[in-house]
Amino acid sequence: MAIIITLDVMLARRKMRSKELAAAIGVTEANLSKLKSGSVKGVKLETLNRICDVLDCKPGDLMDFEPD
């Protein structure tokens, strides 16, 4: 089973660059890049909340689930 991060899709829909989002939510571009690539083990709910607030979306808009 795998959770797929679709943050890049939402950024494209909102016509926002990663650099802008990173600055708006207070994380480094490197950490945001890791999140986008799915190479993190977890994300703080506070960070997820900030992302959803800035992008005007729900957590489910940023993730998808693919069973094996």
Q: Is residue 67 part of a domain?
A: no
Say if 65 falls within a structural domain: no
Residue-number span of the structural domain to which 25 is assigned: 2-58
Residues 19-45 as b or e (16 or more Cβ within 10 Å = b): eebbeebebeeeebeebbeeeeeebee
Q: How many independent structural domains does the chain possess?
A: 1
Q: Is residue 7 part of a domain?
A: yes
Q: What tens digit of pLDDT does each residue of 53-68 get?
A: 999 999 999 999 998 8
Q: Quick check: is 64 in a domain? A: no
Give per-residue pLDDT as tens, 34-50: 999 989 888 999 999 99
User: For the segment 4-13, what is each residue's pLDDT rounded down to a tens digit?
Assistant: 999 999 999 9
CATH of the domain at 36: 1.10.260.40
Q: For residue 54, give the nearest of 13, 30, 21 by alpha carbon.
A: 21
Q: Tell me the pLDDT of the chain averaged across its residues.
A: 94
10 located within any domain: yes
